[in-house]
Amino acid sequence: MASPFLDYVREFMVSRRYAKRTVETYLYWIRFYILFHHKQHPNQLSDADVENFLSYLSNQRTVAIKTQATALNALSFLYRHIILRPLSLNLNFNKARVAQKLPVVLTRVEIQQLLALIDPKYKLLAQLMYGSGLRLMEAIRLRVQDIDFDYLSVLVWQGKGNKNRRVTLAPELIPALKLQIEYVKQHFQTDLHNPSYAGVWLPFALARKYPAAPKEIGWHYLFPSSLLSLDPESKLIRRHHLDETTVRRAIKVAARLAKISKNVTCHTLRHSFATHLLEAGIDIRTVQEQLGHSDVKTTQIYTHVLNRGGNAVKSPLSLLLNG
């Protein structure tokens, strides 16, 4: 049964241009929180109830640190912007302490096998994720003008943490990227002849500042959907970017065809990018900048991968057998 309260929260977030993923994630945790407290209205609950919920996630659900942090962010938003009673800054709850997993990394040979067997429609995307260290959604949301051929770089706008950055571009991808842009232009010319076409979606502030931009080629997605669709917010006809689930599926299929036994995801390509840069002698600060990490400690996880790979530490068994 639909909840008028959750519908209100959704409308509030959409009207303030929160990302769709953020809206869905926050609603999930707010709904979970309400159900945990036997469907009591959040206005009737206190900081102590929030603490109990967060402790439950840690103690009974054994969620990861980032998962618990996301739940806290959702509830903090709820009480600050909806209930209008901000949470205490000194909440006392059991913090999640699940050990951080080491990232899955492919060897260069495995990367070659994966790229050789992936569906050609998604090969360029996979090459960008590996070659430039992009997250899946960063690659999917690229616009035509985000490719800087002159300086061999890719511009990433509003990545994770709402950060912008410039990352390296492999020159070997230039021909494929130019072909992809020609493909985008074909869609673009067809769409312009459609009287219902309202142009590509832009964030609210940009659309207001550059009213003509939605119908300029540079703002169109580099990896567009094959079909026009109705924008659920504006109710206008637009061409959105490719559906990310199709890319995830293509990566899984390619890994299976390549007989790679590791748990390969789109993010594995980004992990491999970072690890292979460090293996090549690139300093960790440069890798940090390429990945867009705020703290070098986050990047250091890849040095752990290198150290545990068998090359940094000589096994005592090898010394015994070869001594």
Which amino acid type is present at position 26?
A: Y
Query: What mean pLDDT do residues 159-166 have?
Result: 82
* 94 band by pLDDT with thresholds 50, 70 and 90: confident
Query: In this model, does residue 320 exceed pLDDT 70?
Result: no
Is 135 one of the catalytic residues? yes
In this prediction, residue 315 carries a pLDDT of 62
Query: What mean pLDDT do residues 235-254 have?
Result: 95
Is 79 one of the catalytic residues? no
In this prediction, residue 243 carries a pLDDT of 93
In this prediction, residue 314 carries a pLDDT of 62
State pLDDT tens for residues 251-306.
999 999 999 999 999 999 999 999 999 988 889 999 999 999 888 888 888 887 76
Query: In this model, does residue 208 exceed pLDDT 90?
Result: no
- The one catalytic residue in 16, 160, 256, 308 is 160
* 19 band by pLDDT with thresholds 50, 70 and 90: confident
In this prediction, residue 25 carries a pLDDT of 95
Neighbours of 2 (CB within 10 A): 6
- The one catalytic residue in 220, 238, 270, 271 is 270
Q: What are the tokens at 261? A: 């036994």
In this prediction, residue 221 carries a pLDDT of 97
- The one catalytic residue in 143, 238, 276, 293 is 293
Which of these ranges, 55-59, 198-202, 300-304, 309-313, has the smallest mean pLDDT? 309-313
State pLDDT tens for residues 60-76.
898 888 899 999 999 99
In this prediction, residue 34 carries a pLDDT of 95
Is 293 one of the catalytic residues? yes
Segments of 84-234 assigned E as strands? 147-148, 153-156, 165-168, 229-230
| pLDDT-above-70 percentage for the chain | 93
Q: What are the tokens at 57? A: 């996630």
Segments of the chain assigned E as strands? 147-148, 153-156, 165-168, 229-230, 237-238
In this prediction, residue 8 carries a pLDDT of 94
In this prediction, residue 3 carries a pLDDT of 86
- The one catalytic residue in 135, 220, 238, 239 is 135
State pLDDT tens for residues 125-148.
999 999 999 999 999 999 999 999
Average pLDDT value over all residues in the chain: 90
Q: Which residues neighbour 126 within 8 Å (Cβ) at sequence distance 6 or greater?
A: 114, 115, 118, 247, 250, 251, 254, 266, 269
Which of these ranges, 37-41, 156-160, 287-291, has the smallest mean pLDDT? 156-160
CB 103 within 8 A of CB 302: yes
Is 267 one of the catalytic residues? yes
Query: In this model, does residue 313 exceed pLDDT 80?
Result: no
